Amino acid sequence: MNIPARVNICEVGPRDGLQNEDKILSAETKAELINDAIEAGYRTIEIGSFVHPKAVPALADTEEVFAKVNKDNNVDFRALITNLIGVERAIDAGVPKVKLTVSASKSHNLSNFNKNPEETLKDFEECYKYAKENSLEVSAAISTSFGCPFEGDISIGQIEKIILRIREIGITEISLSDTTGMANPVEVYQKFRYVKEQYPEIKWNAHFHNTRDMAMANTLAAIQAGVFNFDASFSGLGGCPYAPGASGNVSSEDLVHSLEEMNIDTGIDLDKSIELAHKVKNLIGHETDSYMIKAGKVDDLINEHPAEQKKIDD
């Protein structure tokens, strides 16, 4: 089994986690959560999005949020954008990196952007050029890479057509996203193994939702395929507003715990990450899909029952 010494986790809770919540947090509170994530050791954080405020009102104040974030650290901050206006807002806010998103599914792309994928990719060209002219880094994500709620299975051929256009534009970092939690480990391994072999110059990221409790298995399958960069969301929040059934992302603290149980370093303080998850749960006011909140760490269980453990060992 291919077990790396370390993987990188991007905390996407401030964007993907909060975008679909009924309760809208203040800019001060969102910035506080980001600062807590930094304190916990996350070195890649998606701080929000620069989309039209009417489309995602929960993230309308991303400029204000980022202004309040502690930047005296070595953190890769990024924000989601969908058009040139988003790039301009990112530049004005001082956000150093933007992420463009297109769907492998025509139906989902029409639902999300009111455009077909080819039109969205055409917009990428202008966004990429303007971002690079202003010294911004640019990455891309391909939504519904592992299935679409409208169209069903997504072939590697559909994905590859988009990869070729993204690479042609000049982007060298791409995420394959399981937008509605339809992926399975075999599919994950096969698709990531293929793109890793065909496009080794690309930095590959994985974005899994835990809609059907498959995210951890899919993460391990991606690792076996050679992917070591993953998105996750504090307390397991998340979901696409334009995809039916797109419940939460894989929980950041659950992912950290699982990886570290396998002796894979994440550089993240698990206890602080769990504290952040509890804080988020209390702020939004409802139960979440975090197993660390529900069950705690393996070490907690052992420490709570030392006598029983000794008796078993004897």
pLDDT tens figures, 117-173? 999 999 999 999 999 999 999 999 999 999 998 999 999 999 999 999 999 999 999
**Alpha-carbon gap, residue 284 to 51, rounded angstroms:** 22
Q: Determine whether 240 is an active site residue.
A: yes
Which residues, including other chains, have CB under 8 Å from residue 230's CB and lie 6 or more apart? 7, 8, 9, 10, 205, 206, 207, 208, 219, 222, 250, 255
Q: Say if residues 116 and 110 touch (Cβ distance below 8 Å).
A: yes
pLDDT tens digits for 9-23?
999 999 999 998 999
Q: What is the 3-state secondary structure (H, E, C) of 165-176?
A: HHHHHCCCEEEE
Instruction: Note the pTM of the prediction, 2 decimals.
Output: 0.93
All domains of the chain, ordered by start, with CATH? 8-313 (3.20.20.70)
pLDDT at 75 over 80: yes
pLDDT at 79 over 60: yes
Specify the pLDDT at position 20: 87
Out of 10, 127, 148, 240, pick the active-site residue. 240
Mean pLDDT, the chain, integer: 93
Tell me what the mean pLDDT of segment 272-288 comes to.
97
Specify the pLDDT at position 2: 85
pLDDT at 244 over 60: no
